[in-house]
Chain A
Amino acid sequence: MADSDGRQVVSINHSTEEDVKLQEVVQAKCEGKELTKEEKQRLRKEKKQHKKNKKDDRGPPEKEKEKEKASVLAPSKPATQSPAHKAAPVPVNASASESPVAAEKPAKSKAEQRAERRARQDTERASKQGKKEGGQQSASSKPKATPNELQPVKRLPEHIQVDDPAALKKLAKKLERQQVPLRSDYGYKVSLFSHLHQYSRKNPPTQQISIPATVIHPSIVRLGLQYSQGIIAGSNARSVALLHAFKQVIQDYSTPPNEELSRDLVNKLSPYISFLSQCRPLSASMGNAIKYIKKEISNIPSQCKEEEAKRRLQECIDSYINEKIILASEAISKYAIEKISDGDVILVYGCSSLVNHILCEAFEKQRKFRVIVVDSRPRLEGREALRRLVKKGIRCTYVLISALSYILPEVSKVFLGAHALLANGYVMSRVGTSQIALVAKAYNVPVLVCCETYKFCERVQTDSFESNELDDPDDLIVTRNGKTHLENWQTVKSLGLLNLVYDVTPPDFVDLVITDLGMIPCTSVPVVLRVKNVDQ
């Protein structure tokens, strides 16, 4: 095991190791600020390995232990770095004992005690294990150490760490600090998705909020309720409603004395955002809108008067909505209408506000086409899409997703909406979309995804498990003829109800993405993101 070998090295070749460590410490001092973070990481890694060593009494083969370590470390770091880190812990661990000593005097005694304890343990282990392999490992790992030490540790967002009690505790503490009530999970969760929250509509998030709402602005409470009850659903609607609520918050905001608006307002918004994410996990579009608002607020110059600043912020919000949502949908419909020819049979899934808008515009521009609306349980959003299209006068057919393969031979194009477009080109959309894309590919029907650029996000996801949303499982319960078979589903131990909301579609199944910047292939999403970042 590399770890024990590193320590064996400590015990056996103590003097040479120390020289190396001192050099590294000097290096550490020279590099200044960045390294304190690195030192903290080293401390953390060292602690982890320390705990791990306590558990491993006997010595299984080294490779296995390395793999274990890599897998232990992998959940907390992205997969790309795990091979590098296999070797990194060794010298990191060794130098970690010295660098805190050099940099932070209060930790000195602890680190020294730890070093002594480790030395003692290593001598014990040395009597059990062979020493040959240790020497080889440490020699090869040292040169790899330095470049890998500077990789930052990526943190997982809280909402996909529900099965980790430490993360839950952190969340609870944070919410308590912000005076936001914690919403408890409901019902049995299917084990594959136990890392996600699952809330019930019967426990509204407002149970513990005082009436009248004082800690959280009333319009935010209203918004949260509307999210959790599904009254405002759909990526665009949620973002618009969020920005509207923020406008009201800004309207009612008054800077406390000795505070600056640019800093205080952002702090005011944090508990509201926590509350909203307790009501329903934030969507990618909402996240981008929040980022934009926060940036705008922090960019308010300090000499700006409060009224002026508020007015400016309101204008920013209005212009954001106008540009990114309203005008973007106009631009997208313009591009999309070029793709709709007379005699087309267009398949749409669920209720996407953008796709509905495109079809209505195309109909107004006298294109001759008919629409097939595909719907799925439990949300049955397709009915709403059907109503809007039929009201406009478009000829529609309505099927459930189980009839998809029967209906696809008739279809000439598939138009899909998106909740978000991920940085690796995957499309995150309502659950069932990937199925449609898959079957359409099998039938060689072109699939066009319509998505505004403000929904592009920098996350990377290749499966629908890692990050998703679990809706209320009781939505799956149906009462027919007075009988509700799933009424007591909680009492059946082997039964779990799963109500997924999103899924991801790989870029191979998507032929074209229509955005307000034009028609791009799915794989160009990172380019757009890069361009956007440069602009901002």
Chain B
Amino acid sequence: MELQAVLMAAGGGSRMMDLTYNTPKPLLPVGNRPLIWYPLNLLERVGFEGKHSVISENKPSKVSLKVKMISTTDILVVSCDLITDVALHEVVDLFRAHNATLSMLMSKVHEFTETVPGQKGKKKAGEQRDFVGVDVTGKRLLFMANEADLEEGLVLRKSIMRKHPRMLIKTGLLDAHLYCLKRSVVDFLVHNKSVTSIRGELVPYLVRKQFSKSLNSKNATEDTEKNQKQQDAHHNLELLSTSKEEALLQLARERSCWNDHRGDMSEAYHGGKLRCYVHIMEEGMCYRVNTLAAYIEANRVVPKLFEDPPIHPTAVVSERSLVGSDSIIGPICQISEKTSIKRSNVGTSSTIKEKVKITNSIIMNGVTIEEGCNIQGSVICNNAVIGRGADMKYCLVGSGQRIEPEAERTNEVIVGSDQLMEI
């Protein structure tokens, strides 16, 4: 088996707690399908047949793999909140052709244009930037750091500059959290339990490790702040990867007249065994649904991709209602007359009564909207009930909440028991 897929379905959606305090993030509906459907669909389209998914306890960022099961092949890690139409072979080809240790996917960040409910004032776009350094070909990953980890400035090691004098540093890239990892990395993770987050710790570690001096088993001279256990783990990684390079492959590479760089006297890959590659998507869709803004954007864009009929056949839509062409209605819905639905997604088994006006909104499953309501730019979560005549603008109504009739809310987030009002 060449690759096994691991779907990271953990992660509680810490940046959108209002949506996820009741529903686990993988099951959030996007375009009337659970969020986890999209990466699964991507994997299936490409040819994966058996998948492993890991659901772990809530941890703030990427969880390390409890890997008793997966140690026989290389793995492809996908996050459950990734919606993309990337040609996956681009990422995997880098992994195959260069015998890379890590191959990942990144994409240009899209600006979110929709108004996000509950947002007070404009959010600063430049927080928590990622700095990604690639070589001239744009494929080899030389440097990766998050702004949060850098104290004063960007520090580049001389050894990197000597080997790759031309480096392009890019910000404004979105990490799609799709990684191809070699088996030796998985074994390294198993031995080294202190690495908890793939994106936060493992990937920058691997990128740095590309340029560390090759270690003798006793003298580990760099990374002095790491403890002894991790130093042993370093050797582990080196040893595991070198034992795989067979003598024949070495011979083939020696006889081959190819080099990945020119201008200095070293052989291909500078003789390094560890290589990290990145595929940066120029065009195409790539969303990570981990914030409310991303969630809304995804709901906007995704229905256009798939060829499903906008109105599900089992939905009951009365003739005198107006459903716009860019809206989608889920199964078993009931849309009563004189209702107008524009640019919105209505989820499964929702009931919309008469004379309701819904624009630019996301209505999840099991929602009841009484007559005469006016809902604009809002997100209504599962099983909420909006009372008669309510007027909601840019609001987020949490799961199971009830909004009193004749309520007028603008730009509010309505969750929790203190907001509940009995009708």
Q: Interface residues, chain A, CB within 8 Å of chain B?
A: 204, 206-207, 209-214, 218, 221-222, 225-226, 229-234, 236-238, 240-241, 243-244, 247, 321, 326, 350-351, 353, 381, 383-385, 387, 390-391
Contact = CB atoms under 8 A, between A and B. Distances in A.
A286 to B, nearest CB: 12
B87 interface: yes
B306 interface: no
Interface in B244-264: 246, 248-249, 251-259, 262
B406 interface: no
Interface in B1-58: 1-4, 46-48
B96 interface: yes
A486 to B, nearest CB: 20
B251 A240 contact: yes
B256 A231 contact: yes
Q: Which of A210, A243, A321 has the most CB of B within 10 A?
A: A210
B252 A230 contact: no
Contacts of B92: 206, 211
A230 B260 CA distance: 10
A272 to B, nearest CB: 14
A244 B246 contact: yes
Given A218-B2, A387-B265, A204 B257 contact: no
Given A206-B89, A213-B2, A225 B248 contact: no
Given A204-B93, A225-B93, A240-B252, A231 B98 contact: yes
B423 interface: no
B367 to A, nearest CB: 39
Contact of B97 (A212, A225, A351, A353): A225
B252 A211 contact: no
A225 B257 contact: no
Contacts of A231: 97-98, 256, 258
Contacts of A351: 257
A207 B90 CA distance: 8
B2 A211 contact: yes
A206 B49 CA distance: 18
B183 to A, nearest CB: 12
A232 B252 contact: yes
A231 to B, nearest CB: 5
B88 interface: yes
Q: Which of A206, A230, A233 has the most CB of B within 10 A?
A: A206
A233 B258 contact: yes
B50 to A, nearest CB: 10
Contacts of B246: 244
B20 to A, nearest CB: 30
Given A226-B97, A231-B98, A234-B255, A391 B2 contact: no
A383 B254 CA distance: 15
A247 B248 contact: yes
B46 A211 contact: yes
Contact of A212 (B48, B251, B262): B48
B212 interface: no
Given A232-B258, A384-B259, A210 B47 contact: yes
B197 to A, nearest CB: 25
B241 interface: no
Nearest to A206: B89
A516 B262 CA distance: 33
Contact of B262 (A247, A383, A385): A383
A100 to B, nearest CB: 48
Contacts of A350: 257
B252 A241 contact: yes
Contact of A209 (B89, B99, B262): B89
A286 B96 CA distance: 21
Contact of A381 (B87, B248, B257): B257
Given A383-B262, A384-B258, A222 B252 contact: no
Contacts of B258: 230-233, 384
B1 A243 contact: no
A243 B256 CA distance: 15
